[in-house]
Structure 1
Amino acid sequence: MNFEQARFNMIEQQIRPWDVLDASVLALLSSVRREDFVPAELRTLAFTDTELPLVGTRRALAPRVEARLLQEMQVQRGEKVLEIGTGIGYLTAMIGHKAQSVVSLEADPALAKAAAEKLRRAGLSNVQVREADGRQGAPGEAPFDVIVLAGSVAELPQVLLDQLKVGGRLLGIVGDEPMMRAVQVRRVGEKEFQTTELFDTVAQRLPGFDSRPAFTF
C-alpha cells in the first residue's frame, strides 16, 4: 500500500472539505504518520473516514474529527494541554508537536500502554500518558490552557471546566446519538464561561461519561 498517497487523499478528500484549512494543522497531518498509531492489523485502514475498532467497544476518532478538533484548539507553543481519552495517541501526538506539555488520560490499560510506547518512539518527550478515566481531570497539575475531550460526553463536567486557566478553553463533543455537537468553552473569569458551538458530528462516548450527572441540592 502506498501510505503517502493514502495520506494525501485523506487530507484532500476528507479533511480539507471539512473546513480544516489551518496550514500548521495540515502540515502535521502530512508529517505525523497515522499508520504508526493505529493497531498493526488496521494499518491499511489508517486513512479511512471512519472510527476504527480498538479494544473492547472502544473506537478511534475519525481522522477528520481529530483534525477539526486540533484546528479549533488553536494550541500555541508554551501552552499546557490536558487530553481526556488518549485512544491510539495520534491526536495526542499532533497536540504534542504544538504544545509545551501534554497530559493525556486513558481509561483502558492496554490502550494507555500502547499509546505511551508509540509516542515515545515518535520522540515526544513532552507528552505523558496516564491510566485514568479522566472524569476528575488532573487537578494536581491544573490550571491548563487547553482541555480536549477526545470522545463524546452527555454534559461537560464542571470539575474539568474548573481546571482551565482564565483565558483557557475546553473542547468536547456533547450530546446523544444521533446528533452531537462539538463545542468550545472559554473561561473568561473565575466563574464565567462562554460557549461557542463549532460543528455537528457523532463520536463514541468516553469511558465513565455515560450518563448525565444527577442534580444535587
Structure 2
Amino acid sequence: MMDTIEARKHMVDSQVRPNDVTDPALVRAMSTVPREAFVPTNRRSLAYVEKDVPLFDGRWLLKARDFSKLVHGATIQPGDLVLDIGCGYGYSSAVISFLAGVVVGLEADDRPIERATETCRTHGYDTVAFVQGTLAEGCPKQGPYDVIVIEGGIETLPDTLFAQLKPNGGRLVAIMCEDGVGHATLWTRHGEKRGHRILFEAYPAGILPGFEKERAFVF
C-alpha cells in the first residue's frame, strides 16, 4: 500500500520546492491536501507521479510542478475571489482555498461537481463552491474575480473570461499552447487594457474543451 504522506512529502520536495515555488502557504497546501482523494480510485497510484493524471474524458490533473508554478504565478492573496476553471474532481480548488478567500470551481458536468463537493466537504475545505457551466464562458454571476486559473492547456483565451476579472489588477493564468509547445502565461487587467507575461514552459496532456483554436478549412 502506498504511503501517501511520504509520497506527498516527496512530491513537494522533488517537484514543487526545486521549481522556484517559494510561497509558504502554497507549499503548506500541497503538503496537506491529499491528492489521491481527488483522482479516480483506479489511478490513485499515479497521484504523486511527475505527469498529468487522467481524470475523465477531456480532463487531467496537472502535474504538481506545472500546477504549483501556475498558481504561484497568480500571486493569490488572502481574501481573493478565485475562479478555478476545469477543476476536475476538485484538487486544484482545494489547494487554492488555502491561499484565497473564496474559490469557485467550474466544471461542465454534474458528476465531477458532486464528487468534488463531497470530497471537499469530507476534508473540511469549506470555502470552495462548485458550479456547473460551459468552461470557456466562465461564471460571470459570481464575479468579478481577483484571479482566474485555467486548469489545462488552451489555444485561445475568450474575451468573456478577461471581462470577468476585476478591472484593477485582476489576474488570469493558463498554459497557452501552439504547435505542441505550451507557455504558462499570466494576463493582467487594468481597466480595459491587458498585459501578459510568460511564466514558464509546459507541456499539458491536452487542450480543455472549448479552448481549441478554430481550424482553417483546407481543400
TM-score by length of 1: 0.91
How does 1:131-142 map onto structure 2 within 5 Å?
131-142=132-143
- Which residue number in structure 2 is paired with residue 109 of structure 1? 110
- Which residue number in structure 1 is paired with residue 208 of structure 2? 206
After superposition, the C-alpha distances for 1:71-110 in whole angstroms (9 at most, x for unaligned) are 1121111111111101131111011122111111112332
- Which residue number in structure 2 is paired with residue 164 of structure 1? 165
One-letter identity of the residue aligned with 2:161:
L
Task: Measure the CA separation in 2 of the matches of 1:58 and 1:99.
Answer: 24
Unaligned runs of 5+ in 1: none
Change (3 A) 1:213 1:72: farther
Change (3 A) 1:212 1:17: farther
- Which residue number in structure 2 is paired with residue 90 of structure 1? 91
- Which residue number in structure 2 is paired with residue 55 of structure 1? 56
Question: What is the deviation of 1:182?
Answer: 0.7
- Which residue number in structure 2 is paired with residue 175 of structure 1? 177
Question: What is the deviation of 1:141?
Answer: 2.2
Question: What is the deviation of 1:21?
Answer: 2.3
SS in 2 for 1:97: coil
After superposition, the C-alpha distances for 1:128-154 in whole angstroms (9 at most, x for unaligned) are 111222211111222110011111111
Unaligned runs of 5+ in 2: none
Runs of 4+ in 1 over 6 A off after TM superposition: none
- Which residue number in structure 1 is paired with residue 69 of structure 2? 68
Change (3 A) 1:57 1:162: closer
SS in 2 for 1:119: helix
1:133/1:207 contact within 8 Å kept: no
Identity of aligned residues (%): 36
- Which residue number in structure 1 is paired with residue 12 of structure 2? 11
Task: Measure the CA separation in 2 of the matches of 1:56 and 1:194.
Answer: 33
RMSD: 1.7
SS in 2 for 1:54: strand
Task: Measure the CA separation in 2 of the matches of 1:139 and 1:157.
Answer: 13
Question: What is the deviation of 1:22?
Answer: 2.0
2:26/2:98 contact within 8 Å kept: no
How does 1:185-200 map onto structure 2 within 5 Å?
185-188=187-190, 190-200=191-201
**Which is worse superposed, 156-165 or 48-57?**
48-57
Question: What is the deviation of 1:212?
Answer: 4.1
Task: Measure the CA separation in 1 of the matches of 2:24 and 2:101.
Answer: 19
After superposition, the C-alpha distances for 1:30-51 in whole angstroms (9 at most, x for unaligned) are 1111122122222222100111
Task: Measure the CA separation in 2 of the matches of 1:212 and 1:180.
Answer: 18
Question: What is the deviation of 1:177?
Answer: 4.6
Change (3 A) 1:110 1:99: same
2:71/2:149 contact within 8 Å kept: no
Q: Structure with the greater relative contact order (CA < 8 A, sep ≥ 6): 1 or 2?
A: 2
